[in-house]
Amino acid sequence: MSKPLPITFQETDLDAIATFSGSLALVAAPDETAARSPAARRLNRLTKGALNRLLGSDGWGEVKPGAAATLGFPAGLAADALHVVKAGPRADSQTARKAGATIGKAVGKSGVLVLAGTMQRAAELSFGLALRAYDFEAHKTTDPTQRGPVTVMVKDPEAVALAAKPMAAVAEGVFFTRDLVNEPANVLTTDDFAARLAAMQELGLEVEILEEAELKKLGMGALLGVGMGSESPSKVVVMQWNGGGDEAPFALVGKGVVFDTGGISIKPAAGMEDMTMDMGGAGVVAGVMRTLALRGAKANVVGLVGLVENMPDGRAQRPGDVVKSMKGDTIEVINTDAEGRLVLADVLWYAQERFKPVGMINLATLTGAIIIALGHENTGVFSNDDDLCNAFLKACTAEGEGAWRMPMGEAYDAKLKSRIADMMNVGGRDGGSITAAQFLKRFVKEDVPWCHLDIAGTALLKTESTLAPKGATGWGVMALDRLIRDKFEG
């Protein structure tokens, strides 16, 4: 898997500035104090006043917090570039991460030396740097991106390194999720996905793979129906992290459709290649579980993912078919492209029956309707419990991951009424993301706090974002890890 760049922290050494041959990054305050730090004064002397001219220019005034102005091949320095990043010593967490991301985007094969001085959130800067330096190159055979070492010079390197350690675990979890979502479907089959999750046993996770025979015994007819047209066997993978006491676990449930053609209700050809990301919910669950194990979380969490492939075939599920869920409810399949909710229905019920969780969050690239509603800036959040929902939204705000609560209500249930079964799997175009959530809610017991996260708009982007290049974002790993830290680890 892709690994975050190694970052070392050292005490500031002003004499090393002149001879460093990679890129230099100076973290500079947004006000008149920018030129007063020891590193800034040394750089200004070496560049014969060029730094102060930059800091006094109109261009510097227009630079946004966390962004940078760059001097290319500055005279007086061996460096090939000097990036002056706008972020003060007391910059908030998001500004510090943006500053790090600005540097991470510019890391070349000669590496970068970051002069962070007395910046209080230098660990956050290093976190943003690591996240933005990600690049998925598993299938490139020519011109791989080369990135040299990263050194961050700070006043107290040991304290910063200590603060950065749990963030490094989160970064690895995010990278794991991004790799999974970026992988093509001929590589990330259900077998391959399950094998990657099973390999996390070496981190201390308990991993169990339920194969089709066991799923049939459990009565998971809704999930199994989705994969009937595929050569790849359907599976459910259970990952347990027991880092707490004897309390019941918190449950994370992910949709893992490794490729979604739409089945018999086939999708248009244009853009179908993006359906390699339809396992994004399972990818986030996997990334969170990896993070918890790497940082030794003091909580009990179980992650469950339903792995299937939705293909058209002579054996494939048809529109009009009726399937029976593990709960016992029957579902008329009106549209085979509304398959994710069928997968989640059985895995949600299994999670509750087996683990009796204290709460539950499911993630899925579930509906195009949520993209119409919220675009690519926010995940849609649906919930039956204000406390859990508010705690999650607070975690999203703290981590800078966009999320917006969407409405639910019994009125939407009427759209799911079936003539021949207990319910239909779709309720029409209007309110499509809400009726999908109402469908899932039928498989959540009344006393179980629950959130449904529709990440269709945030799991993979066509353009780069602040902390990620174009492609998979890993959205949700940071927020869910924060939620578990704040709500379940005390």
Which stretches of 402-465 are DSSP H helices? 432-441
Name the token pair of 323. 């399937």
DSSP run (H or E) holding 331: strand 330-332
Burial of 61 (0-12, 13-18, 19+ CB in 10 A): exposed
CA distances from 254 to 53, 169, 219, 351, 429 (A): 53, 21, 19, 11, 24
Q: Active site includes 482?
A: no
User: Among candidates 330, 334, 325, which has minimal Cα distance to 306?
Assistant: 325
Burial of 254 (0-12, 13-18, 19+ CB in 10 A): buried
- Report DSSP letters for 53-84, one per residue: HHHTSHHHHHPPTT-EEEEES-TT-SSSEEEE
Contact indicator for 472, 177 with CB cutoff of 8 Å: yes
Which residue carries 């079964």 as its tokens? 421
DSSP run (H or E) holding 19: none
Give backbone dihedrals phi and psi of 350, rounded to 5 degrees, phi first: -60, -45
DSSP state of 142: S
Contact indicator for 106, 67 with CB cutoff of 8 Å: no
What is the number of residues in the chain? 490
Question: Residue 377 and residue 465: Cα distance in Å, rounded?
Answer: 10
Give CA torsion, residues 424, 425, 429, 432, to 10 deg.
120
Quote the radius of gyration of the chain (alpha carbons, Å). 24
Question: Residue 107 and residue 118: Cα distance in Å, rounded?
Answer: 22
Chain centroid, CA 318 distance in Å: 33
Give backbone dihedrals phi and psi of 296, rounded to 5 degrees, phi first: 65, 50
Active-site entry in 267, 298, 318, 394: 267
DSSP run (H or E) holding 119: none
Q: Which amino acid belongs to residue 47? A: T
User: Among candidates 340, 297, 224, 257, which has minimal Cα distance to 488?
Assistant: 297
Q: Active site includes 147?
A: no
Active-site entry in 98, 341, 442, 485: 341
Question: Residue 129 and residue 401: Cα distance in Å, rounded?
Answer: 17
Question: Which residues are annotated as catalytic?
Answer: 267, 341
